[in-house]
Structure 1
Amino acid sequence: MFAFFRLSKMDNNMSDYNYDEIVASSQSPEVQTVFLNYIRMQYLIVYLIVCTLGVTLNSYVIIAGCHVYQKVQNSTPSMWILALAVTHLVFSAFLVLQFLYVWYHFNWHYGAALCKISSYIIYGSMFSTAALLSLWSISSSISSCAEGLCARCSRHGTTLVLLLSSWTFGAVLSSPSLLSRELRYTNLGEECIDDYDLDKQNTTPDGMKNFTAVVLSRFLLGILVPVFMMTISACLARRQSHDQDGSLKRVTCAIKVAYFICWTPLLVLGLLQVTEKNHESFTYGLPAATVLAAAHSVINPVIYLFLGRESRIRIFGPEQSP
């Protein structure tokens, strides 16, 4: 998955490392084999669980939400939850390619196009989720400040525009994956990895700048900006003393916390690669952060189904009886 993007050792130039090159620093072939098998089993187990539960649970949330929404046309929170479920369903479905990639011992057999698209979908899902959560917070705080000033249909129309904007935001910001992702022959076989080294013979300053720009934008727009927007929105909503449904508030808070817990380690490690000179420090951190990020697509539907169980009706339709 994205843990296999080029790990960078920083000195005067940016030297690219494949995963087999990282493991090659081990003292013996036996240690290398054991470590690779450990990482491979870790990915296989997590990806299998995420693919199975992610597709199943998010599909259930979508079907149940659409069924209730047809009867109750005034549930704005349900629109946001359905949008998140669709985003995570797409993520879980494309994660099957990463599962097969690991299954075949990190050999990619599906062509350069799917190599690029698989990474594009992964980061598109991350940026879309960040945008959805941020705009949901903003719209909730604004609606609490101006409740009664706009018609219900107008609120729904605005919400739809915000949803489409979030997906567009994710599609645009994940586009670097379409440019940098490529197939490369290594000791492990034909790998699908990110390569920001524009000059195949010697690393160029432009390659370094591109790498830095990508990881910095992922951290800023994936973590810092959403945190800032959600904090401001929470402060505005609190000042208005708006009585929001307590159970819905707990669900939305849990969704936001889950996003940051799952994605922050991976994005922070990616940012640290700009300055970290010892690439071996990422050997264990990146695989763990990768599987944690992948697990995010399963956590949200679990939150809906368990934490919001007592108030499922308020989440998917406030006027529907249990």
Structure 2
Amino acid sequence: MFLTTAKPVYYPHKWCHICKDNAFMADYVTIILYTLTVVLGITGNSIVIWVAGFKLKLSVTNVWLVNLAIADLIFCFTRVSSLTQMLFFDHWQFGLFLCKFNGFFKYTNMFCSVFLLAVISLDRVLCIWQPILTKRQRTLWAARVVAICVWIAAILFSIPYFIHRRMYMDNNNLTKCSVDPKEKAEGYNSTKAALYSIRFLCGFMFPFTIILICYTLAGVGIRRTRLSGKSRPLRILACLVIAFFLCWAPYHCLLLVKMVDNENAVVKIWYPVAKGVAYFNSCVNPLLYFCMGLKARKGFRQSVMKVYKRALTDEMDGQMTHCKMEHINVAGAKKRDTLGPVDLVCCTITCNI
């Protein structure tokens, strides 16, 4: 097995035998998580991009999901060099550019993912609370522009990590790649604090505050208008948010501890595992789509392509047709500037949530 070739202990754990055993186990868990991320992430995200981007009629929601998959796919490719190092080498030997780019795109992926989830949440709230305005403004062109802006913002927030990541020689005269060099330059502590703060505040706390507020408002709007909250797109998007939180929360919690006490024994052992769990989020989304697209009655007699098509297709067309059959005059309601509950439901449905 490949695990027998690994050199799992990268950090000096001298506190006790229990700590050494935990460190050894943590390194193996990290290797397993990296392997799953690379194999499942590259395969799953490629399928999502192919299905949502080329096989289905493009919708606003799928624009977000395709960009999410692109970010995850590139990130999974960057983990190949890190996994190779963990399996076969005890030092970094892929050069300065890959050292910087690996760290840079790791954070680009994190920022891009959470920013897109925040955009999706805002999009949902607007669909529910401002259906008439949203119907006019919610176009594929606007979605693509917003997606480009998200990428630009994610890249800008990640540039400091590209600048400060470097190669250095450790105490054993081995080449390492990190933003935490052993020889601390003047002003290092303030730089590290700034990088950690950007990561935590802009990459986790602020976006998730927006997401929670948006989904709270969306829930209130759904109850108020009697719009069903059990549609597949709504469930998928909610699962994406929950998965991102569960995967990245341990990483950010240990990051806060690391800011206060960099020599903390728990951080030294479990921080690499927390990173592996966070990276695993890049292969979770395709798995969620697959599970959401499965039909239990058909068991395993379903093609992968059909399962993903079912998961990524907006299921609102039938409801829109039903609204038309009810002869609801949305244009008339717009002129009166008043919408009844049923009108609001149908206008919201046209957003293809």
TM-score, structure 2 as length reference: 0.74
Shift of 1:38: 4.0
CA–CA distance in structure 1, aligned partners of residues 33 and 173 of structure 2? 21
Residue identity over aligned pairs, in percent, reads 21
1:120-164 deviation digits (Å, cap 9, x = unpaired): 111110010010000111022112222233556852222112211
Shift of 1:52: 0.9
Shift of 1:91: 0.8
CA 1:36–1:317 in structure 2 vs 1: closer, same or farther (change >3 Å)? same
Q: Are 1:313 and 1:319, in contact at CA under 8 Å, matched by a contact in 2?
A: no
CA 1:40–1:142 in structure 2 vs 1: closer, same or farther (change >3 Å)? same
| 1:183 partner SS | strand
* 176-185 vs 296-305, greater mean Cα deviation: 176-185
- Equivalent residue for 1:61? 48
- Equivalent residue for 1:216? 197
- Equivalent residue for 2:153? 169
Aligned partner letter, 1:223 = F
| 2:176 partner SS | strand
CA 1:26–1:140 in structure 2 vs 1: closer, same or farther (change >3 Å)? same
- Equivalent residue for 1:121? 105
Aligned partner letter, 1:46 = L
CA–CA distance in structure 1, aligned partners of residues 35 and 262 of structure 2? 34
- Equivalent residue for 2:285? 300
Shift of 1:319: 6.9
- Equivalent residue for 1:316? 313
Q: How many residues align?
A: 293
CA 1:27–1:245 in structure 2 vs 1: closer, same or farther (change >3 Å)? closer
CA–CA distance in structure 2, aligned partners of residues 166 and 225 of structure 1? 15
CA–CA distance in structure 1, aligned partners of residues 55 and 136 of structure 2? 18
CA 1:264–1:314 in structure 2 vs 1: closer, same or farther (change >3 Å)? closer
* 179-188 vs 167-176, greater mean Cα deviation: 179-188
Structure 2 gaps of 5+ residues are 1-8, 296-306, 319-353
- Equivalent residue for 2:188? 207
Structure 1 gaps of 5+ residues are 1-18
- Equivalent residue for 2:254? 269
Please say which structure displays the higher CA radius of gyration: 2
TM-score, structure 1 as length reference: 0.81
Larger relative contact order (Cα-Cα within 8 Å, sequence gap ≥ 6): 1
- Give me the CA root mean square deviation: 2.8
CA–CA distance in structure 1, aligned partners of residues 71 and 290 of structure 2? 17
Q: Please list, as runs of the form range in 1=range in 2, the aligned pairs for 1:136-215 lying within 5 A after superposition.
A: 136-149=120-133, 154-186=138-170, 187=172, 189-195=174-180, 200=183, 204=186, 206-215=187-196
CA–CA distance in structure 2, aligned partners of residues 250 and 128 of structure 1? 21
Q: Are 1:196 and 1:208, in contact at CA under 8 Å, matched by a contact in 2?
A: no
CA 1:155–1:129 in structure 2 vs 1: closer, same or farther (change >3 Å)? same
CA–CA distance in structure 2, aligned partners of residues 176 and 116 of structure 1? 10
Query: Which has more helix, going by share of residues?
Result: 2
